[in-house]
Structure 1
Amino acid sequence: MSTGQRSLPLKLETDMEQVCAVGESPEEKASCTTNRKEGEENPPGSSDVAENPSEVEENSKLSLISWNVDGLDGEEQPERARGLCSYLTLHSPDVVFLQELIPPYSRFMKKRLADNYTFIEGGKEGYFIGMMLKKSRITLLDSEIVDYPTTRMMRNLLVAQVLFKGQKLCLMTSHLESCKPNAAERMRQLRLVMKRMTEAPDDVTVLFGGDANLRDSEVARVGLPDCVCDVWEQLGKPENCRYTWDTTINTNREIQFKCQLRFDRLYLRRASKDGVPQLEPDSMTLIGLEKLKCGCFTSDHWGILCTFSAE
């Protein structure tokens, strides 16, 4: 969720640049990782996966994180940026979709993660969307930015053509129009996304993820094409992943009313050509549920971590 017109405070720019310049100590890195209980197993993608007997199986799966990182919120922002990098390092996803990036935030992440990830951005000023592709697993073929003709906010669609283990994927992320009064524009944007998904070649698997700001009634009015599925629904609507913007738990924003909404969504259009492997949703969980040492959550949104198997 975003107001769309907030500006970056000068102090925040200064703080972030200082953090980028001085780096962080091992103690700071440790304080911003998730608070896993002693003896709890590391999740797939953590630094200890190489010792896991199921390493081969896990490496055959595509892992993806989609997250609105709320870069426009200046509260404890450098610490939250560290927390985000720690989550990404911990889970080591193949693909990352990010929304509400800001320039100093993006520079901060590149300083720490550019050795392992290719960065693609949907803008350079204000706030924007971005993708991160793990260099050792994802080959970038091409990318483009698709403008929404009638948006009133800084919104567009970022599209990347990639290869994953020889399989053609079309990856898409966006931050659809925010706020309930902008439902008509948001639905126009969703129709454009669905059009792009359905028009992809039949030997290509298409994955869209992002902060869609959607209400279920809006999706029903637009209607999903028969070839497109909502990944959360495909996995049986797991209750623990239902709400990605939950002000009953997340205290980053001072919001008087309490609500639970599934703003962040993943959509899949499988390849239909004979002989092309089918990418199937395998698991989904929310991340960012733990407060950082600074007392804030990494974002006002939870992140979505999803894995897919090629069948």
Structure 2
Amino acid sequence: MSLPAWADWDCPRCSLINAPDCDACEACDLARPDAVAADPRAAFFNIALASAGAKRPIDVVDLASSDDDESAKETADPKPHRAMERPTKQRKTETDDTAASTPAPAPAVAAATEAAASVAEPKGPVTLRVASLNVWFDEVLVSDRIRCMTHTIATLQPHVVFLQEVTPDMSRLFKARMVHLGYVSPGDVVDVAYGEMIFLQRSLPVHHYERVDFPRSTMGRGLHTLQTTLAGRRLAVATAHLESLGPNRAVRFEQLDWSFQVLAMSDHPWVFGGDMNLGNREKAQLPDGVDDAWVACGSDPLHEHTWDTSVNKNLPDVSYVAKCRFDRLFSYGMTPTTFATFGKDKLPTDATMYPSDHWGVVATYALS
């Protein structure tokens, strides 16, 4: 039986709730089953509604994030906006059951998707651009800050974007704006204080996406992984927000090592980025073949620090000066060629405020 033209419809592959006039899923591009052909002119007017209102059960994240001055971890209090994380530390959300309830794609559909993704592409060098930003969960000037952040993303044009400290309201705003830039996200932040998201260009297929809890976390942290294909190359991208605060240094390293072990199980190249909360004295031991993009691209001091309270005054109660390289991009099976920080321009609407209390990081990679 055909669906009524005015009814929302659930994607049988990824479970996204799509608007009535969408002939294909906004997230995974699966053709609408038994659909009544829609007027293509109406699709534009339904994009924002479909993206902002969709709730997908695959990504239920419970994170209580924070970033501290590593050089003052033992003497200074956490930054002021951390107070909201304490109640959420007790909350633990299981994602496996939710993900298991998502209908599996029909074999024919899955085969067609794989075939489309591997259509003959040029086999020369391929460039991948990845950006990551802790967007700062504070509720001050949220719309203005997101408008500024998405404008910067549109300028950078990364294939993949990692975001951390995304509140549920920010998740809806980001999805509504990013869809107009040609990006989709396989998950939402719902029922938690804040979490993470992965956005990727609509032209890139989502073969698989999941979030897995870290084995030992008191803050509900976890690893997001996504499998996609770029120009015929299969690859994985992943993001996380590692455990915060000085006393959790050992747990933080466990989470980093565990993430590397999970990614090492992939037979494909990968990029792993996010707010690693690694302070200046915390030297991560990288597995063989794994690159830190900033280091691999020459360790430019102009792009070293991503949390710099000597410049960024978004946190007025932080009186000490701290310069830390919390945000990092790691990779395997590809060559980092450029690295930079971004988000260093103040809001057009408020000359005292930056889009986030972090700078973002962006890198390009060569896939041979």
Q: TM-score, normalised by structure 1?
A: 0.75
1:63 to 105, 111, 129: 129
- For 2:362, the equivalent position in structure 1 comes to 305
Residue in structure 1 matching 2:158, options 73, 83, 93: 93
| Equivalent of residue 269 in structure 1, options 329, 332, 337 | 332
Residue pair 2:130, 2:364 contacting (<8 A) in 1 also? yes
- 1:105 is aligned to 170
1: CA distance between counterparts of 2:186 and 2:83? 23
Tell me which structure has the larger Cα radius of gyration: 2
Q: How many angstroms apart in 1 are the aligned matches of 2:301 and 2:314? A: 22
- How do 1:68-147 residues align onto structure 2 when only pairs under 5 Å count? 68-70=134-136, 72-115=137-180, 116-121=182-187, 123-124=189-190, 125-136=192-203, 138-147=204-213
Given that 1:4 and 1:154 are in contact with CA atoms closer than 8 Å, whether structure 2 keeps it comes out as no
Aligned: 1:238 with 2:300: yes
Deviates more, 1:255-264 or 1:77-86: 77-86
Cα distance in 2 for residues equivalent to 1:234 and 1:297: 28
Cα distance in structure 2, aligned partners of 1:100 and 1:87: 18
Matching residue of 1:28:
none
Distance change (3 Å), C-alpha of 1:198 and 1:216: farther
Tell me, which stretches of 5 or more residues in structure 1 are unaligned? 8-55, 271-278
Equivalent position of 1:152 in the other structure: 218
Which residue matches 1:173? 239
CA contact (8 A) 1:121 1:128 kept: no
Which residue is equivalent to 1:225? 287
TM-score normalised by L of structure 2: 0.64
Question: How many residues get paired?
Answer: 247
- What SS class does the counterpart of residue 75 from structure 1 fall into? coil
What is the CA distance between 1:149 and its match in structure 2? 2.3
Moved more, 109-118 or 163-172: 109-118
Pair 1:119–1:73, CA change in 2 (3 A): same
User: Which of 242, 262, 267 is the matching residue for 1:196?
Assistant: 262
Corresponding position of 2:20? none
Q: CA RMSD in A?
A: 1.9
Question: How far, CA to CA, are the matches of 1:200 and 1:93 in structure 2?
Answer: 23
Q: Percent identity?
A: 33
Q: For residues 68 and 154 of structure 1, what CA distance do their matches in structure 2 show?
A: 17
Q: Which runs of 5+ in 2 are unaligned?
A: 1-64, 67-80, 86-121
- Name whichever of 252-261 and 106-115 sits farther off: 106-115
2:171–2:189 CA contact under 8 A, matched in 1:
no
Q: Shift of residue 111 of structure 1? A: 1.3
Give the drift of 1:287: 0.7
Task: Give SS of 2:185's match.
Answer: strand
Contact 1:122 1:158 in 2 (8 A): no
1:286 paired to 2:286: no
1:251 matches 2:313: yes
Q: 1:209 aligns with which of 246, 260, 273?
A: 273
Paired with 1:154 and 1:6, the residues of 2 have a C-alpha distance of 14
Match for 2:214: what amino acid? Y
Letter in 2 for 1:78: S
SS in 1 for 2:186: strand
Deviation sequence 1:198-231 (CA, Å, 0-9, x none): 2221xx10110000001254334xx211121211
CA contact (8 A) 1:173 1:210 kept: yes
- Residues 35-72 of structure 1 show CA distances to partners (whole Å, capped at 9, x for unaligned) of xxxxxxxxxxxxxxxxxxxxx9xx942111100001x2
Q: 1:304 and 1:108, CA in 2 relative to 1: closer, same or farther beyond 3 A?
A: same
